[in-house]
Structure formats: C-alpha cells, structure tokens
Amino acid sequence: MSASATVRRLAFAAAVLGLLLALLLFAPARWLASALDRASGGQVQLVNARGSVWSGQADLLLTGGEGSRTSSALPRGLRWRLRPAWQGGPAFALALQAPCCTPQPLQLRLHPGLSETSLSVAGFDSRWPAELLAGLGTPWNTLRLQGVLALRSEGLTLTLASGRARLHGGLDIDALDMASRLSSIRPLGSYRATLRAGAEGDTARLDLSTLNGALLLQGQGQWVGGRLRFAGDAQAAPGSEEALTNLLNIVGRRQGARSVITIG
C-alpha cells in the first residue's frame, strides 16, 4: 500500500472517529426526552427539551400514559447535568434541579451492568406541589389534591439483580395542608409516610399516619421484591362525617364509618 493511500485511510478513520465523538458530546437533549418517554410509557415527558444530553433543561410533564387526557406540568421545569463517572465500575452521575422544588440539586448515580444495575440518590430535602399527581390519571385526577409534598432522605439505593429488586435506605414524605376538590373542608389535614428498608434490602416497611386534620389516615405496608402491599383506612374526625362522605366513598371500600384502603 502506498504512503498516500495509508494517509487517506488514516484521515478517513480520524474523520469518522471525530464525527462519532461529536455526536456523543453534543447529542441533543431531545434524544434524552425520547428515551424517557419510551421508558415510562409516556407517563413522564420532557417537553421543549433544549441543550444536550449532558447539560440541558426542559419542561416536565406527567400524564396517565397513552390515551390519557390528563396531564400536569412542573412549574419552571427541570435542569440537569450528566457526567460519566467511575466508582467500582463505570457509572453516570446526574445532578437534577427543579428551581421550584429543590434548594440543592438532587445527586443521582447510576451503575449499569449486565447482571446488576443500581440507582443511588444522595441525601436530599425537597418540596413539590401535590397538584402534579393529577397528571398521572386515576385516582389522582379524581381527587385533584392540593398542598405540598415534602420529600427527604438520608440516602436511597435501588438495585436490580437477577430479576429481583433490593432497596437500601429510607424516605420520608410529609403531605402538608392537603385539600381535594371532593371536599369543602380546606385543608383536610397533614400526613406522614415513612419508608424504611430492611437490613438485607429485600423488604421495606411503609407506615402512614395523620399529623393533624379532619380526615384521619393510617396504615402499614411492606415492599417485597419490587411489589407493594398496603392495608390502611380513612375516617372522618368527629363533626366532619357529613362533609367527608363523598371523599371517603372514593378513597376506599366503605365499612361503616371507615373507608378501607388496600394496595397489592
């Protein structure tokens, strides 16, 4: 092979490599939006995505999935920064910020693998509008909740291996000053849900309690292998029975004054 032919081949290879590198570095944010839409079945959408896969922003839209007529948007959207990382293997570090809701960016780390994949979220404290839930369809679009969802954690890791899910860490959710279009009582009350993983990560305990209010909620459940089983009930505080009748008929199965709530 002549020297000139070798030079041409090297130049062609360099051009191809440069093109692939450019595509990798400057991949448009809409590629990430399309991937998230497919992965969530259309329930989580990044609309008006701009920037790149690695650094961008978009409006966040929640829907009930394909065919759903309900949707809700996060005020002021989302911003993200994605970077390759190495921590005991290849990983991706994601800083995710919602200007409305996260005082500090959420720090996530994804460890993909053939036999095991894990997603870790560093400790965080955030506050989200409960109205967002209406976009997910039934029963949230019927309840049309209003209020604030305060989420906090000291760290949480979800691991998928051999078709099984393991959870480590915990999550606290305070639903503060909640209201619903199904009741004239405003607010209905404030509530706390706590999720705590077991030592081995195969199970987690969920507890629901009432902090204050006219609607009394309580229950316990278990997260086992990626499935949630929950049993609880709702009832009206003395003097609020009539005002809460319609809501109690919706949230569960009536048994006298109680409304029984079961999941799984």
For residue 182, give the H/E element and its range.
none
Residue 47: CA atoms inside 13 Å, Cβ hemisphere, count? 16
Tell me the three state secondary structure of residue 139. Answer: coil
3-state helix, strand, coil in the chain (%, to 5): 20, 55, 25
* Per-residue pLDDT reduced to its tens digit, 191-210: 999 999 988 778 899 999 99
Specify the higher pLDDT residue, 6 or 100. 100
* Per-residue pLDDT reduced to its tens digit, 32-63: 898 899 888 889 999 999 999 899 999 999 99
Q: Kindly indicate the confidence band of residue 2, based on its pLDDT and cuts at 50, 70 and 90.
A: low
> Token digits for 181?
């279009």
From residue 11, alpha-carbon distances to 16, 17, 228, 260 in Å are 9, 10, 57, 71
Provide the pLDDT for residue 166: 87
Domain extents in the chain:
28-99
Among residues 157, 147, 148, which one has the least CA distance to residue 126?
A: 148
Q: Is the pLDDT of residue 26 over 70?
A: no
pTM confidence score: 0.86
Long-range contacts of 54-61 (CB under 8 A, 24+ apart): 54/25, 54/27, 54/81, 54/82, 54/83, 55/80, 55/81, 55/82, 56/29, 56/32, 56/80, 57/29, 58/29, 58/33, 60/98, 61/135
For residue 244, give the H/E element and its range.
helix 241-251
Q: Is the pLDDT of residue 85 over 90?
A: no
Among residues 124, 144, 146, 120, which one has the least CA distance to residue 134?
A: 144
* Per-residue pLDDT reduced to its tens digit, 240-258: 999 999 999 999 999 999 9
Distance CA 203, CA 94 (A): 27
Highest mean pLDDT among 83-92, 127-136, 197-206: 127-136
Provide the pLDDT for residue 161: 84
